[in-house]
Structure 1
């Protein structure tokens, strides 16, 4: 009986101290693009989409820069949240601007 308890103790200790080697290591992957923009007077509507290519729960922060013809830059950040089941999201962002708009840039901040 003592021998059985000793073997059981050793087995439990060995199993509980072993590391799990099969953990999945993965990184978030996504794509995004500017679909268009429209000047609304003192605001600019920016239309974007993003794809969750890795099918992960992830949060992505974007920085949108709207540049007018005088070179003045108007910046706004936005964050979208993906769940595993979501593959794609279309979304719009309104940026306070002035003057005639010449360019819109989108940058992912992570």
Structure 2
């Protein structure tokens, strides 16, 4: 999950970093996993072109965008029956951007789901 003031800003900050992390993992798996063991390969993360203006409940989207888009995505998940969500920080963006993302989450999204 990553939030910024606008959808475009959040995607510009996070999606390239996510793809780079995926590519690095593919490299490490190819380099270090024994060749005699087969291993399923994770598909690459969806690029910016896969994200529409509103979250697609049937898409392979990560939770990324402005507080409005993220709220809508979480509402879709809640309405589908999801009751718990674990968020992680994989260190893909700077500490400053991560702090801002968490602030936007706590101030602009979480209050909508209380009660």
TM-score, normalising length: structure 1: 0.22
Q: Bigger relative contact order, structure 1 or 2, given CA contacts below 8 A and separation 6+?
A: 2
- Greater fraction of residues in helix: 2
- Greater fraction of residues in strand: 1
